Amino acid sequence: MTLYTIGLGCRRGVGSAAIDAAVRFALGATWSARLLPDAGDHRPFAGGPAAVDTHASGTGTATWNTGVLVQVATLDAKATESGLLDYCARHRLALRHFPQEALAALAAHAPDVSRPSDAVRARFGIDGVCELAALCASPRGVLLVRKTSRHGVSVALSGPAATGPVWEDASTFTDDR
């Protein structure tokens, strides 16, 4: 199985449609087609999961027939956001959340967050959420898509080192190989 993690940070009250638009914008057409099902579509890979892998924490991770596991990761403080919960439910993606201390500890040993956020630093004491959460949920992974922000949502993607990284700089990426 290949594990990909979509790291998400968002402003309070952001809806699932804004999250979906930001994720698809950040991932681009190729990554979106590879990793995200269309809501309500139950065909293998194009839609519903073939199985759900339940971890000790009780969260499931969608398993697609292509051997790809996709999950969403964020900060504990964001785990109850209704837009985020709805987004994960509609796409049948597990939501993993981490305490601020775990993200801060990772930041001490990880590459710099691509574009630190003053608001996140002031509220949570860390430079950013999406990249750190994505890496925290995939400890052997690398950032494949750096932080991209849109409509109050920040998105990053981590996955196996063999598949990336594929960005050009901290604000743009290419999925061309």
139-148: per-residue pLDDT in tens? 788 889 999 9
User: How far apart are the C-alpha atoms of 119 and 55, rounded to whole Å?
Assistant: 32
**pLDDT tens digits along 103-139:** 888 888 766 667 777 777 777 777 788 899 999 998 7
Element (H, E) at 122: helix 118-124
The CATH number that domain 2-163 falls under is: 3.30.420.180
Element (H, E) at 33: helix 16-35
Per-residue pLDDT at 57 exceeds 90: no
Q: Is 7 left (phi over 0), alpha (psi -120 to 50) or beta?
A: beta
Cβ neighbors of 118 (< 8 A, separation 6 or more) are: none
- Rounded to whole angstroms, the Cα distance separating 96 from 99 reads 10
pLDDT at 168 over 60: no
Q: Is 163 exposed, middle or buried (0-12, 13-18, 19+ CB in 10 A)?
A: middle
The answer to whether residues 53 and 61 touch, using CB atoms and an 8 Å cutoff, is yes
pLDDT cut 90: percent of the chain above it: 36
Burial 65-83 (b: 16+ CB within 10 A, else e): eeebbbbbbbbeebeebeb
Give the confidence band of 47 by pLDDT, cuts at 50, 70, 90.
very low
Report pLDDT for 123.
76
Q: Where do the domains of the chain lie? A: 2-163
Q: Is the pLDDT of residue 9 over 50?
A: yes
> Do the beta carbons of residue 48 and residue 37 sit within 8 Å?
yes
Distance of alpha carbon 162 from alpha carbon 123, whole angstroms = 35
Residue 50: per-residue pLDDT: 31
pLDDT for 152: 92
> How much is the average pLDDT of 57-80?
69
pLDDT at 88: 93
